[in-house]
Structure 1
Amino acid sequence: MTPQESFAMPPSVPAGMTLELARARVLDGKESLVREWMQMLNARYDECVATLAVERAAFEAWFLRTETDGRTWIYHVGLTGNDGAPLDVDSQLDADHLAYAKQVKEKGWERLEPVFLLAPGHIMRAMTQWGAEGCET
């Protein structure tokens, strides 16, 4: 995900990590295609998990919301190490992922400012290590 702007991380986010919540409007008439995109990711779950180490992503999640005006938005939330790699378009999964994104959503992402992160200590330590090293102990 390419951020349109950068925010300072709150003190609750471990040093060297970025907490992100971003959204993009789904293009009119592409609501079923965005669901197909998410179905593709779910069907290829093991491939998606394999990308986490390279991206230094401790976790990520996607959400859809249709507003009262009928417009649908796709949301992405994640916690990543600052040294993680971006999408690898040489990877078939990432190429497919990017192709769907270009077809279904407006260009770019609207980022929300992170202000607080909470997790039990053992989970925070594991996410911080993953963000730094991309591997388990």
Structure 2
Amino acid sequence: MTEPVPHTPFRPVDPDQFHGYPMPRSVPDGLRLELSRAKLLDGKDAEFGEWMHMLNDRYDECLEELPAERAVFEATFQHTEADGSVWIYHLSLMGEGGSGLDTSNPVGAEHDAYARRTKERGWEELTPKFMLTPSHIRLMMERWGRTGAV
């Protein structure tokens, strides 16, 4: 007999109450390292694929938004839990003075619209513990996080 697979709950943080975790010493001052996850809505796997395809196709437009966001890097992953639920993980390193997603520009608006259609509202936030970066890259990341420029 097969054991039932436990359900993986989704517990997003309240954005009005959660202002980020303290950064470990290995994260440079002025930067925020974040790993967030959200559950895809049931049956939205294909539309999530379209969303990621759109971002890849419009990569140059996405790059244009990085200076205002103070985004040093961003990466998105997909994972299927043992219970069959599909999750997305978003890893980012951002300057604390960044603007966040700008929905007044076309790629930001489409990005936001896909998020609203394909994933549960909100994010669970994982606690950052350590970041390792070669010093020459670290200096560039610190500058970009402060200014949005090289």
* TM-score normalized by the length of structure 2: 0.87
Q: Which of 59, 65, 77 is equivalent to 1:45?
A: 59
Q: Which of 54, 58, 73 is equivalent to 1:59?
A: 73
Q: Which of 60, 67, 74 is equivalent to 2:88?
A: 74
Does residue 1:83 correspond to 2:90, yes or no? no
Partner of 2:9: none
Q: Which of 126, 133, 140 is equivalent to 1:112?
A: 126
- Look at both structures and tell me which one has the larger radius of gyration over its CA atoms: 2
Unaligned runs of 5+ in 1: none
Deviations 1:86-106 (A, max 9, x none): 211110100000000000000
Partner of 2:38: 24
Aligned residue type for 1:46: D
Q: Distance in 2 between matches of 1:112 and 1:87?
A: 20
Deviations 1:20-52 (A, max 9, x none): 000000000001100100000000000011111
Deviations 1:58-89 (A, max 9, x none): 00000000112111000100100000002111
Q: Count residues with an aligned counterpart.
A: 135
> Cα distance, 1:127 vs. partner?
0.6
> Cα distance, 1:3 vs. partner?
7.5
Q: Distance in 2 between matches of 1:3 and 1:27?
A: 19
Does residue 1:8 correspond to 2:22, yes or no? yes
* TM-score normalized by the length of structure 1: 0.96
Q: Would you say the 8 A contact 1:3–1:111 is kept in 2?
A: no
Q: Which of 72, 88, 99 is equivalent to 2:113?
A: 99
Does residue 1:122 correspond to 2:136, yes or no? yes
Aligned structure 1 segments of 4 or more residues deviating by more than 3 angstroms? none
Q: Distance in 2 between matches of 1:76 and 1:55?
A: 15
Partner of 1:34: 48
